[in-house]
Amino acid sequence: MMMTMVRTAAGGGGGGARVANTAVIVAANRLFSTAGRGGVAAAAAARGIGNEVGVGGPNKLGYWIRASMIDGGRSESTMALSSEKEKNNEEKKKIGSSSESVGNKENSNDKGIIASYWGINPSKITKEDGTEWKWNCFRPWETYKADLNIDLKKHHAPVTFLDKMAYWTVKSLRFPTDLFFQRRYGCRAMMLETVAAVPGMVGGMLLHCKSLRRFEHSGGWIKALLEEAENERMHLMTFMEVAKPKWYERALVIAVQGVFFNAYFLGYLVSPKFAHRMVGYLEEEAIHSYTEFLKELDKGNIENVPAPAIAIDYWQLPPDSTLRDVVMVVRADEAHHRDVNHFASDVHYQGRELRETDAPIGYH
């Protein structure tokens, strides 16, 4: 509707452009009234439209709006910013000098323009030593020192039929995994993390939906499970730095994810106590795998390279840490996941719901 108004008004020349300015400014103020800043930005953008369509000189926002809305609608808003690079480069040159007017003095790139338009400016965070914080996927206050004193030997002895089924499901999965990776523990760790990060997300998502359906709190379990998923994904982001997946390994991950996500989703719906128990055993296996990884590092069969920068920041490791230190903290994380999942399964075994117990939020 806004586009129609602009085009019609613009057809009338200078007077039309003024009408367009007014009409779109009013519309923009209404449509973007969620925040004062957004309203101002929208109004400014609307002025840009009027100028561009009518008689005035283009400004930064005007160009962006023209590309994204007038030239073809919503779907082009990203296309204009990604595929039409030449056009963008031209526009960047034109708008470079006025980049401060949209409130982001340092980013005159497209990302900066979008962020400013919506009133969202990228935050600039520095470390304690004053250097720039370079990770967007986690923030300094989300980092932690791993608890290396956790008991790695704890094991839940399978008693019930469901326990035994969970235990033997995991054990049977180990055979093809051992066969495929053999002693390539770096690669094995990376690949297994692509699977390990799924259950927390699925469980968290299902509890989230349950909370919505039943109009009830989750007792913090949504957060706890999503934290686990995020922690596992950070393991993957770390191992990616030391082991690059080959094309057939990437293909395998896609296939495994397709099967495992759906299987775990259904499994969790049918029996959350089975699902959590199985993850508990998976984590026990992960502890074993990382112990083997450490042995190979100690024997010198795997080079103990410097720890990736992302790991040093995420686990607050000393700057001279090595891969061995990283494997130690990751293994400690797995032991915590083991506890959380066996605990969750035990809660269900007692005929209670997770929300009735305090969720282990921040349990690393």
Note the residues at the interface with Fe ion (CB under 5 A).
193, 196, 232, 235, 283, 334, 337
User: What's the min distance (Å) between Cβ of 261 and Fe ion?
Assistant: 16
| CB-CB contact of 238 with 312 (8 Å) | no
Q: Which is nearer to Fe ion, 32 or 167 (CB)?
A: 167
| CB-CB contact of 18 with 54 (8 Å) | yes
DSSP state, residue 70: I
Q: Which is nearer to Fe ion, 20 or 287 (CB)?
A: 287
Q: Which is nearer to Fe ion, 91 or 193 (CB)?
A: 193
207: tokens are 């509890």
At 126 the three-state DSSP class reads: strand
Q: Is 134 exposed, middle or buried (0-12, 13-18, 19+ CB in 10 A)?
A: exposed
340: tokens are 């959380």
Q: Residue 138: left (phi > 0), alpha (psi -120 to 50), or beta? A: beta
Q: Which is nearer to Fe ion, 52 or 232 (CB)?
A: 232
What's phi and psi for 146, nearest 5 deg?
A: -65, 145
Q: Which is nearer to Fe ion, 41 or 170 (CB)?
A: 170
The DSSP line for 99-124 is: GGGGT-SS--SHHHHHHHHTT-----
User: What's the min distance (Å) between Cβ of 363 and Fe ion?
Assistant: 12
Q: What is the CA radius of gyration of the chain?
A: 27
User: What's the min distance (Å) between Cβ of 205 and Fe ion?
Assistant: 18
User: What's the min distance (Å) between Cβ of 226 and Fe ion?
Assistant: 14
| CB-CB contact of 50 with 28 (8 Å) | no
Paired with 306 in beta bridges are 322
Q: Which is nearer to Fe ion, 69 or 195 (CB)?
A: 195
Name the strand (E) or helix (H) holding 46. helix 36-53
User: What's the min distance (Å) between Cβ of 345 and Fe ion?
Assistant: 15
User: What's the min distance (Å) between Cβ of 315 and Fe ion?
Assistant: 13
User: What's the min distance (Å) between Cβ of 337 and Fe ion?
Assistant: 4
User: What's the min distance (Å) between Cβ of 49 and Fe ion?
Assistant: 49
At 243 the three-state DSSP class reads: coil
User: What's the min distance (Å) between Cβ of 295 and Fe ion?
Assistant: 18
Q: Which is nearer to Fe ion, 38 or 200 (CB)?
A: 200
| CB-CB contact of 46 with 27 (8 Å) | yes
Query: Any alpha helices (H) in 182-322, and if so which ranges?
Result: 185-214, 221-239, 247-270, 272-299, 309-314
Q: Which is nearer to Fe ion, 196 or 237 (CB)?
A: 196
Q: Which is nearer to Fe ion, 25 or 196 (CB)?
A: 196
